[in-house]
């Protein structure tokens, strides 16, 4: 992969103006984490300030002391769009918080090992599943509960076996499985950053939607340019050059 392809993260208008110059710097720089972080941060910045890639109307011969551009028109995002984005953000953050809360409070109640043992001994339990240091107990009435057991298990399986010998008609089903912790660790890490990933994707989408929605603005700029030329403030040559840059 060429390092330059990192610049695809930038908005189109920014790339049209700066990609060639920055690309050369990027190709010369040694590939490092800080380079990637720098470019990703820069891409965020460029998406957040879409006016930066826009052609400046300050001509190279006319001197730069008259700011011909209207005062940062790029910042005037319609209120309704802002409100919508804020609403979506709140929604996504809310979902993320809800998810975190759910992850903290499992739907199956957790009881102490003593409680689980007495449930087994008193014949309230129909099946026991032992997975690593977690055991799930299914009651005869269908309820379930969880408990944490020492690993390797010395008490719970023993209690179930004793109970089964004492009361053969009501055999408690005992399943022992290996904890599939490898997958669950990776899975839980992925799930825990999922809201964050969604948020980042949403911000990128919103930023590029902003940038696109400003398409018609360049015709306004063109009209302004024509006006400047008509008033003799810029020469025809300057007008043609800026026009080419605007419509590129």
Partner 1 sequence: MQHDIERISGRRLGPGSLYGAIARLEKAGLIEALSDKGARRPYRLTAAGSRTLSSELESMRKLAAAGTRRLAAR
With residue 197 as reference, give the H or E element that holds it.
helix 181-213
Joined together, the tokens standing for residue 46 give: 């460029």
Identify whether the C-beta of residue 112 lies closer than 8 Å to the C-beta of residue 140. Answer: no
Binding to partner 1 in span 49-88, by CB under 8 A: 49, 51-54, 56, 58, 60, 63-67, 69, 72
Question: Applying CB under 8 A, which of residues 5, 8, 31, 40 lies at the interface with partner 1?
Answer: 40
The H or E element containing residue 206 is: helix 181-213
Rounded CA-CA distance 96/103 in Å is 11
DSSP of 69-114, one letter per residue?
Answer: S-S-GGG---HHHHHHHHHHHHHHHHHHHHHHHHHHS-SS-EE-HH
> How many C-beta atoms lie closer than 10 Å to residue 53's C-beta?
19
In the list 42, 77, 96, 144, the residue contacting partner 1 (rule: CB under 8 A) is 42
Which range touches partner 1 (CB under 8 A), out of 21-29, 152-160, 214-222, 229-237? 21-29
The answer to whether residue 45 forms part of the interface with partner 1 (CB under 8 A) is yes
Alpha carbons within 13 angstroms on the beta-carbon side of residue 229 total: 17
Q: Which is nearer to partner 1, 51 or 131 (CB)?
A: 51
Q: Which residues, 6 or more positions from 2, have their beta carbon under 8 angstroms from its beta carbon?
A: 27
Tell me which residues in 114-133 interact with partner 1 (CB under 8 A): none
**Residue among 173 and 237 whose Cβ is closer to partner 1:** 237
Closest CB 130 distance from partner 1, rounded Å: 53
14 is a contact residue toward partner 1 (CB under 8 A):
yes
Q: How many residues bind partner 1 (CB under 8 A)?
A: 37
Nearer to partner 1, 69 or 113 (CB): 69
Handedness of CA 150, 151, 156, 162 (dihedral sign): negative
22 binds partner 1 (CB under 8 A): yes
Q: C-beta of 61: minimal distance to partner 1 in Å?
A: 10
Smallest distance from partner 1 to CB 191, Å: 31
- Contact (CB, 8 A) for 39 and 6: yes
24 binds partner 1, rule: CB under 8 A? yes
Which stretches of the chain bind partner 1, using CB under 8 A? 14, 17-18, 20-26, 29, 34-35, 37-43, 45-46, 49, 51-54, 56, 58, 60, 63-67, 69, 72
């Amino acid at each position: 992969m060429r390092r330059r392809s990192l610049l695809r993260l930038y908005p189109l208008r920014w790339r049209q103006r700066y990609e060639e110059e920055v690309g050369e710097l990027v190709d010369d720089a040694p590939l490092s984490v800080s380079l990637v972080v720098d470019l990703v941060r820069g891409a965020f910045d460029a998406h957040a300030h879409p006016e930066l890639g826009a052609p400046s109307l300050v001509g190279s011969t006319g001197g730069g002391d008259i700011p011909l551009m209207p005062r940062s028109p790029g910042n005037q995002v319609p209120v309704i769009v802002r409100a919508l984005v804020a609403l979506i953000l709140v929604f996504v953050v809310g979902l993320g918080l809800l998810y975190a809360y759910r992850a903290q409070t499992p739907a199956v109640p957790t009881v102490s090992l003593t409680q689980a043992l007495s449930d087994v001994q008193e014949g309230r339990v129909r099946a026991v599943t032992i997975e690593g240091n977690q055991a799930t107990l299914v009651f005869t009435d269908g309820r379930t509960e969880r408990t944490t057991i020492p690993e390797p298990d010395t008490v719970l399986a023993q209690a179930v076996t004793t109970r089964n010998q004492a009361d053969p008609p009501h055999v408690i089903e005992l399943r022992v499985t290996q904890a599939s912790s490898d997958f669950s660790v990776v899975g839980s890490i992925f799930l825990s950053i999922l809201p964050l990933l969604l948020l980042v994707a949403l911000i990128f989408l919103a930023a590029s939607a902003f940038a696109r929605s400003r398409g018609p603005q360049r015709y306004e700029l063109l009209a302004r340019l024509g006006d400047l030329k008509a008033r003799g403030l810029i020469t025809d040559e300057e007008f043609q050059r800026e026009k080419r840059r605007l419509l590129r």
